[in-house]
Amino acid sequence: MTFEPAKFGKIAYTALQDLRIEYVGKEPKNKHIEIFQEVWSQSVEIYTYLSTWGLLRLKAEQTALEKQPIKQKVVEVFFKCLQELEPVQGKDFSVANPMGLTTLKGLDTSEYLGVTGLALALAKEFSFWANAVYPSSDRKAS
């Protein structure tokens, strides 16, 4: 993979914008504030979670979030974005699917550390773009 810093921002922005559009189309207008707050919050928290607990734990946590479907969706989208970056050459890097934990566990140490570094960079972009896509005015009742 060629390292292209701008690609991280484009991927994160597009993913968050697509999520916004998805929820605007499915949910009643009065529910948007709550949903946008939850998407924004989870998008901002991914970096802290990753840096504290790691990539394996975040993937495992995705399943545990089943009672919080919006937060779970943000984590799912994050892993789709990470997969899109194709960080490991010559190997199947399917981390967005339910077997993603197995994929991560199958990486050798240097691959795992490299993927974690890319995941942290992507998480920073999620945090940055969450403020643009879900501004505070969209997350507060008027």
User: How many domains is the chain partitioned into structurally?
Assistant: 1
Most confident of 16-25, 32-41, 51-60: 51-60
CA distance linking residue 133 with residue 116, whole number of Å: 25
CA distance linking residue 136 with residue 121, whole number of Å: 23
Would residue 138 count as lying in a domain? no
* 8, 85 Cβ separation under 8 angstroms: yes
Would residue 142 count as lying in a domain? no
Would residue 126 count as lying in a domain? yes
Would residue 88 count as lying in a domain? yes
CA distance linking residue 108 with residue 134, whole number of Å: 37
Would residue 109 count as lying in a domain? yes
Q: What CATH number does residue 124 fall under?
A: 1.10.520.30
Would residue 96 count as lying in a domain? yes
Render pLDDT for 123-134 as a digit per residue (tens, 0 to 9). 999 999 999 999
Would residue 121 count as lying in a domain? yes
- Which residue range is the domain that position 85 belongs to? 5-132
Would residue 45 count as lying in a domain? yes
How is 33-100 classified by DSSP, letter by letter?
Answer: HHHHHHHHHHHHHHHHHHHHH-HHHHHHHHHHGGGSHHHHHHHHHHHHHHHHT--STTS----SSTTH
Render pLDDT for 38-67 as a digit per residue (tens, 0 to 9). 999 999 999 999 999 999 999 999 989 999
Render pLDDT for 66-105 as a digit per residue (tens, 0 to 9). 999 999 999 999 999 999 887 777 777 889 988 899 999 9
